[in-house]
């Protein structure tokens, strides 16, 4: 059954690649069939827990094809199926043939390539094929990011993405190459007892961590996610980052890891979580802000994985299972609500033509669907009950609390992690109140925002599906637990058979009750208000009678307090021109948050390398006489070395 479904999926995707540029409808059907059947195969595997394998006699690149789908890959494949099909649906209207005649066809074809290759990475059980699929999906994503390449910003973002991705690929080449050299073949599989393979973990951490966007390797992420078309942003953020996580989880499960690996991963996770949200608070570009929240959420997932590794190192402590389950469930949850948020942000961009939050405002009036669905996603990403983000954060938290109570060596780390994770949640909430308030509430700050329009049904549909999924996982976490639990058992078989956390059914019930009562009471209060005397009046502004939209709180002013706390790393740049003198001219104020790691660390380093190379390059100028002189000097030096060496 799984074979049949996966074969159909591959056929559907291949067909859609071929048809992509010319026949939009056939392409969409192909993607739907492909992603849908892949989703089906993943669900079957997650329900049954059986491993599907395919050994083929066909060689690709000199290696026999070996594919396998276990619960861990199925977890990611299910997410790919969801985002792959919904993104295609959304893209039909968002990047339509009519609006983008030059790039729409290419966009469709590359979308299919991307989805197919991501799927291949997930099922590949051969290092060489894994690398091939990896490189192909990286390239496909590059072409998708740069779909509107007439803009210089987009080209720059694409270039940065391409370079960073290839640093990751380089590291993975080293990882798989050395793995193949030490094991004598490219075949992948569980090798937990080969302790000598442990140091290879560091190559995997750099390669996969770069792809996952973990701090400080996230430099490529904000610009790529902000400048890509929104359905591509959703795919990049919702799925391709998770492929980095998949790699880390997969190979920490199959291979032994160094003693300190767990602490390093957890530490990087904490740094990513706190600084990711801090940078997000400093952003004024809607999509760039969402991109930084991906760094934060990847951090939460890494905290789960890191503490699971620590637990394994400390004798398979049971709390590690909770932490990893929380992390893996967060993979799904982040994929769902971040895609939802990017779709909604795309809908705003589509309607207003700007991502600049200070030009938006009051959009709920013209875009009620987008506004409500964005609010749902915002509540989910802030980890608020009764939505899915809370369930996974709750599991991670529970793992950390149990670790702290266990009073073992890991307890102090767990205490710190729990406090910082709590801090992250509160910061994320602050950030999303800011976004919702500035973009969707209040009065429009520009004509574009005032004359926006709601997006059409094929952009609203995917958002509704994602919103329902966020709500579903929140209301019935028990239904989704077995799937996550199976994936955790694949990662560490010695945890198999453990029970589900006792609070999970109660939590689900509580969520259902909370949602029901809140909905009833909200409607009741609204009725009560409507039933009485309702006077519409201007917002109270201290008796001021002529408020203007410019008087509203902006994104910058809202985040000011927290930005000041993080000024040591955010390094915000202010340009202020006060109105002075008796007849003041115009005043202005602008604020910009630079990419600290990129602008203060990587670019200076790159400049230094360039400078050194430029100096060295002077040696090579094309004058043969000088080259002869080099030879002579070199020979002389060698001769002197040999003579002196003999002399001593």
Partner 1 sequence: MISFLGFLLRLAFWLLVAPLLPGIINKVKAWVAGRRGPPTLQLYYDLAKLWRKGVVLSTLASPGFVAGPAVAWVALISAAMLMPLGAAGGALSFRGDVLLLIYLLALARFCTAWAAMETGSAFEGMGAAREVSYAVLSEAALFAAVLALGIHTGSVSLVTMLSPMAGAGALLLAAGLFTVLLAENCRVPFDDPNTHLELTMIHEVMVLDHSGPPLAVILHGASVKLLLFTLLLVQAVLPMGGLSSAGAAGALAAGVLGVTVAVGLVESLMARLAFRRVPLLLTTAFLFCLFALLMAWKGGA
Report phi then psi at 66, rounded to 5. -135, 110
Residue closer to partner 1 by CB (options 352, 552) is: 552
Tokens of 75: 């977890």
Residue 380 contacts residue 297 (beta carbons within 8 Å) = no
Site for partner 1 in 35-64 (CB under 8 A): none
From candidates 334, 434, 460, 486, binder to partner 1 by CB under 8 A: 434
Residue closer to partner 1 by CB (options 221, 281) is: 281
Residue 101: exposure state from Cβ atoms within 10 A (0-12, 13-18, ≥19): exposed
Site for partner 1 in 518-557 (CB under 8 A): 518, 521-522, 524-526, 528-529, 532-542, 547, 549, 551-553, 557
Q: Is 317 in the site for partner 1 (CB under 8 A)?
A: no
Residue closer to partner 1 by CB (options 532, 581) is: 532
Question: Residue ranges of the alpha helices (H) in 457-531?
Answer: 457-475, 477-491, 503-531
Residue 137 contacts residue 80 (beta carbons within 8 Å) = no
Q: Is 292 in the site for partner 1 (CB under 8 A)?
A: no
Instruction: Measure CA of the first residue to CA of the last residue in the chain; give whole Å.
Output: 77
From candidates 14, 54, 178, 443, binder to partner 1 by CB under 8 A: 443
Residue closer to partner 1 by CB (options 236, 360) is: 360
For the bound state, the minimum distance from the C-beta of residue 570 to partner 1, rounded and expressed in Å, comes to 15
52-60 and 63-69 as β-strands: parallel, antiparallel, unpaired?
Answer: antiparallel
Residue closer to partner 1 by CB (options 346, 477) is: 477
Site for partner 1 in 327-366 (CB under 8 A): 361-362, 364-365
Q: Is 436 in the site for partner 1 (CB under 8 A)?
A: yes
Handedness of CA 224, 225, 227, 232 (dihedral sign): positive
Q: Which helix (H) or strand (E) segment is 382 a member of?
A: none
Residue closer to partner 1 by CB (options 137, 558) is: 558
Give the total of residues touching partner 1 (CB under 8 A).
80
Q: Is 562 in the site for partner 1 (CB under 8 A)?
A: yes
For the bound state, the minimum distance from the C-beta of residue 329 to partner 1, rounded and expressed in Å, comes to 14
Residue span binding partner 1 (CB under 8 A) among the ranges 134-142, 332-340, 516-524, 626-634: 516-524
Tokens of 308: 């699971």
CA 545, CA 537: separation in Å to the nearest integer? 11
Tokens of 527: 């009725």
For the bound state, the minimum distance from the C-beta of residue 568 to partner 1, rounded and expressed in Å, comes to 15
Residue closer to partner 1 by CB (options 5, 570) is: 570
Question: Residue ranges of the alpha helices (H) in 255-285?
Answer: 261-281
From candidates 385, 456, 482, 572, binder to partner 1 by CB under 8 A: 385
Tokens of 201: 């973990």
Residue span binding partner 1 (CB under 8 A) among the ranges 106-114, 141-149, 375-383, 584-592: 375-383
Q: How many CB atoms lie within 10 A of CB 270?
A: 24
Q: How many CB atoms lie within 10 A of CB 32?
A: 17
For the bound state, the minimum distance from the C-beta of residue 100 to partner 1, rounded and expressed in Å, comes to 33
For the bound state, the minimum distance from the C-beta of residue 284 to partner 1, rounded and expressed in Å, comes to 15
From candidates 86, 197, 243, 559, binder to partner 1 by CB under 8 A: 559
573-577 and 588-592 as β-strands: parallel, antiparallel, unpaired?
Answer: antiparallel
Q: Is 619 in the site for partner 1 (CB under 8 A)?
A: no
Q: Is 476 in the site for partner 1 (CB under 8 A)?
A: no
From candidates 152, 407, 617, 618, binder to partner 1 by CB under 8 A: 407
Residue closer to partner 1 by CB (options 561, 635) is: 561
From candidates 100, 166, 560, 571, binder to partner 1 by CB under 8 A: 560
Residue 466: which residues within 8 A CB-CB, separation 6 or more? 82, 86, 336, 337, 339, 340, 343, 373, 377
Residue closer to partner 1 by CB (options 120, 404) is: 404
For the bound state, the minimum distance from the C-beta of residue 466 to partner 1, rounded and expressed in Å, comes to 20
Handedness of CA 118, 122, 127, 129 (dihedral sign): negative
- Total count of residues recorded for the chain: 648
Residue closer to partner 1 by CB (options 259, 499) is: 499
Residue closer to partner 1 by CB (options 10, 401) is: 401
From candidates 178, 433, 465, 602, binder to partner 1 by CB under 8 A: 433
Among 632, 391, 638, smallest CA distance to 511 is for: 391
Residue closer to partner 1 by CB (options 204, 340) is: 340
Q: How many CB atoms lie within 10 A of CB 555?
A: 25
Spacing of C-alpha 305 from chain mean position: 16
Q: What angle do CA 537, 542, 547 make, to 5 degrees?
A: 60
Residue closer to partner 1 by CB (options 544, 627) is: 544
Binding letters toward partner 1, positions 495-514, x by CB under 8 A: ------xxx--xx--x--xx
Q: Is 447 in the site for partner 1 (CB under 8 A)?
A: no
Encode 315-363 in three state secondary structure.
CCCCHHHHHHHHHHHHHHHHHHHHHHHHHHHHHHHHHHCCCEHHHCCCC
For the bound state, the minimum distance from the C-beta of residue 527 to partner 1, rounded and expressed in Å, comes to 10
Q: Is 324 in the site for partner 1 (CB under 8 A)?
A: no
Tokens of 565: 């706390």
Tokens of 104: 């729409």
3-state secondary structure of 592: strand
Q: Is 423 in the site for partner 1 (CB under 8 A)?
A: yes
């Amino acid at each position: 059954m799984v074979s049949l479904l996966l074969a159909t999926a591959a056929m559907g995707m291949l067909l859609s690649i071929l048809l992509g540029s010319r026949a939009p409808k056939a392409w969409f059907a192909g993607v739907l069939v492909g992603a849908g059947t892949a989703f089906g195969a993943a669900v079957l595997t997650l329900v049954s827990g059986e491993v599907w394998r395919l050994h083929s006699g066909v060689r690709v690149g000199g290696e026999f094809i070996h594919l396998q789908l276990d619960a861990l890959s199925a977890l990611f494949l299910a997410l790919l199926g969801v985002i792959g099909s919904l993104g295609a649906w959304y893209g039909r209207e968002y990047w339509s043939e009519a609006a983008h005649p030059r790039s729409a066809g290419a966009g469709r074809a590359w979308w299919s390539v991307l989805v197919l290759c991501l799927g291949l990475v997930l099922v590949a059980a051969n290092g060489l094929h894994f690398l091939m699929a990896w490189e192909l999906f990286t390239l496909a994503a590059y072409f998708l990011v740069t779909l509107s390449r007439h803009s210089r910003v987009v080209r720059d973002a694409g270039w940065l993405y391409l370079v960073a991705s290839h640093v990751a690929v380089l590291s993975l080449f080293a990882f798989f190459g050395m793995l193949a050299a030490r094991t004598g073949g490219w075949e992948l599989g569980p090798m937990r007892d080969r302790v000598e393979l442990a140091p290879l973990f560091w190559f995997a951490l750099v390669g996969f961590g770069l792809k996952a966007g973990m701090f400080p390797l996230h430099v490529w992420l904000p610009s790529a996610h902000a400048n890509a078309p929104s359905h591509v942003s959703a795919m990049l953020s919702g799925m391709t980052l998770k492929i980095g996580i998949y790699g880390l989880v997969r190979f920490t499960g199959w291979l032994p890891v160094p003693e300190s690996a767990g602490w390093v991963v957890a530490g990087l996770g904490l740094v990513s979580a706190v600084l990711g949200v801090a940078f997000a608070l400093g952003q004024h570009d809607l999509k760039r802000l969402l991109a930084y929240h991906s760094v934060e959420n990847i951090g939460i997932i890494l905290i789960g994985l890191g503490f699971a590794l620590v637990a394994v190192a400390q004798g398979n402590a049971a709390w590690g299972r909770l932490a990893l389950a929380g992390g893996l469930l967060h993979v799904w949850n982040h994929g769902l609500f971040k895609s939802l948020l990017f779709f909604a942000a795309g809908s705003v961009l589509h309607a207003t033509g700007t991502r600049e939050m200070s030009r938006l405002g009051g959009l709920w009036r013209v875009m009620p669907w987008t506004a409500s669905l964005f609010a749902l996603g915002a509540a989910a990403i802030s980890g608020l009950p009764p939505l899915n983000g809370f369930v996974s954060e709750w599991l991670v938290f529970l793992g950390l609390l149990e670790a702290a109570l266990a009073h073992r060596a890991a307890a102090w780390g767990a205490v710190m992690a729990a406090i910082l994770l709590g801090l992250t949640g509160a910061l994320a909430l602050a950030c999303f109140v800011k976004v919702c308030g500035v973009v969707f509430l209040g009065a429009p700050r520009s004509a574009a925002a005032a004359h926006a329009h709601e997006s059409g049904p094929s952009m609203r549909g995917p958002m509704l599906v994602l919103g329902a999924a966020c709500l579903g996982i929140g209301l019935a976490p028990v239904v989704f637990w077995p799937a996550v639990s199976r994936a955790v058992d694949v990662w560490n078989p010695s945890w198999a058979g453990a029970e589900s956390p006792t609070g999970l059914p109660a939590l689900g019930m509580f969520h259902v009750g909370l949602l029901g009562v809140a909905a009833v009471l909200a409607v009741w209060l609204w009725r009560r208000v409507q039933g009485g005397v309702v006077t519409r009046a201007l917002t109270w502004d201290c008796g001021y009678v002529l408020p203007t939209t410019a008087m509203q709180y902006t994104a910058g002013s809202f985040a000011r307090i927290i930005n000041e706390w993080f000024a040591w790393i955010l390094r915000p740049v202010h340009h202020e021109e006060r109105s002075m003198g008796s007849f003041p001219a115009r005043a202005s104020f602008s604020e910009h948050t630079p990419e600290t790691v990129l602008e203060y660390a990587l670019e200076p380093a790159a400049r230094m390398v360039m400078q050194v190379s430029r100096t060295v390059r002077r040696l090579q100028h094309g004058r043969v006489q000088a080259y002869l002189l080099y030879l002579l000097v070199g020979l002389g030096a060698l001769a002197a070395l040999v003579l002196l060496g003999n002399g001593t």
